[in-house]
């Protein structure tokens, strides 16, 4: 999941200042972790501890209240509500990468991806976005090729992954919906040759940069067998002790052992 976290950090400076190119500084001095990272780590923590997603999301929000959450999530977490709010936003997909790494069968991945989404994003599009992202990571880490991943996502989830980035980029705008950002983030991965290129591709669309790079980065990490050491060390260095500890423990338990 460190690939998702690094993608979030690299994209963080372009969320409100979109760009339409891939040749930008990778390690901008203003890069930071956002809610994408906080909730990704919360999902990893849930998987390792067995606690509920609702409880962990509430707890992590309280610990990191200014990470840049959406307004509805803030109200849900601030008041420790237990009922979901039917969101179709890409928050369900941005946080799901640990699920794709942690489980041994596709059925388990799909079930736990739905569970991680529906505590807030119980809209069908919110669940679909989380499941598609987690499934793509599962297929990538189990050595499926890109054509298999493309056709399987299209068949199982109904996303159109036939477009090219060069055709999407000119007219693409900021879109926080799963249906308007998850397919594009997956395409950013599909057109990449390296982890770094996947992240650059996602950001270059000029949309919800941190979240799309988070999604593409998680899939790319799984497919390319990790991320460059310089990027990993940089990203871990931007985390505080709590987030880094959970991230490193998850990596040891579910990524290194699987590799």
The tokens for 102 are 């942690």
The whole-number pLDDT of residue 212 equals 98
Rounded mean pLDDT, 67-82:
96
pTM of the predicted protein model: 0.97
The architecture in CATH of the region 2-256 reads Orthogonal Bundle (1.10)
Q: pLDDT tens digits for 9-65?
A: 999 999 889 999 999 999 999 999 999 999 999 999 999 999 999 999 999 999 999
Q: What is the mean pLDDT of residues 191-220?
A: 98
pLDDT on residue 258: 53
Residue in the structure block whose two tokens are 């946080």: 95
Confidence of residue 257 (pLDDT cuts 50, 70, 90): low
DSSP conformation class of 255 = I
CA neighbor of 7 nearest in space, from 199, 201, 207, 224: 199
Instruction: Report residue 70 CA to chain centroid gap.
Output: 15
H/E run at residue 42: helix 35-49
Q: Which pLDDT score is estimated for 255?
A: 80
- Whether the pLDDT of residue 240 is over 90: the answer is yes
CB within 8 Å of 230: residues ≥ 6 apart = none
| Chain segment 99-143, per-residue pLDDT in tens | 999 999 999 999 999 999 999 999 999 999 999 999 999 999 999
DSSP code for 257: T
Whether the CB-CB separation of 50 and 16 falls below 8 Å is answered with: no
Let me know the angle formed at the C-alpha of 203 by 200 and 208, rounded to the nearest 5 degrees: 160
Alpha-carbon distance 190 to 188, whole Å?
A: 6
């Amino acid at each position: 999941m460190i690939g998702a976290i690094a993608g979030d950090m690299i994209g963080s400076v372009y969320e409100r200042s979109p760009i339409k190119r891939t040749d930008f500084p990778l390690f901008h001095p203003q890069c930071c972790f956002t809610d994408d990272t906080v909730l990704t780590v919360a999902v990893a923590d849930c998987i390792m501890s067995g606690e509920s997603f609702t409880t962990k999301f509430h707890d992590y929000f309280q610990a990191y209240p200014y990470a840049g959450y959406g307004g509805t999530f803030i109200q849900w977490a601030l008041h420790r509500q237990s009922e979901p709010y039917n969101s179709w936003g890409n928050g369900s997909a941005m946080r799901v990468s640990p699920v794709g790494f942690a489980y041994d069968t596709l059925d388990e991945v799909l079930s736990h991806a739905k569970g991680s989404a529906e505590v807030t994003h119980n809209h069908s599009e919110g669940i679909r976005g989380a499941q598609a992202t987690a499934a793509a990571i599962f297929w990538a880490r189990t050595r499926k090729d890109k054509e298999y991943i493309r056709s399987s996502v299209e068949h199982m989830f109904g996303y159109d992954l036939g477009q090219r980035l060069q055709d999407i980029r000119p007219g693409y705008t900021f879109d926080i919906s799963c249906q308007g950002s998850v397919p594009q983030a997956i395409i950013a991965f599909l057109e990449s040759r390296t982890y770094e290129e996947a992240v650059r591709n996602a950001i270059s669309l000029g949309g919800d940069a941190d979240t799309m790079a988070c999604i593409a980065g998680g899939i790319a990490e799984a497919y390319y067998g990790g991320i460059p050491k310089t990027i990993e060390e940089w990203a871990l260095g931007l985390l505080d002790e709590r987030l880094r500890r959970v991230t490193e423990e998850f990596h040891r338990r579910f990524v290194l052992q699987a590799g």
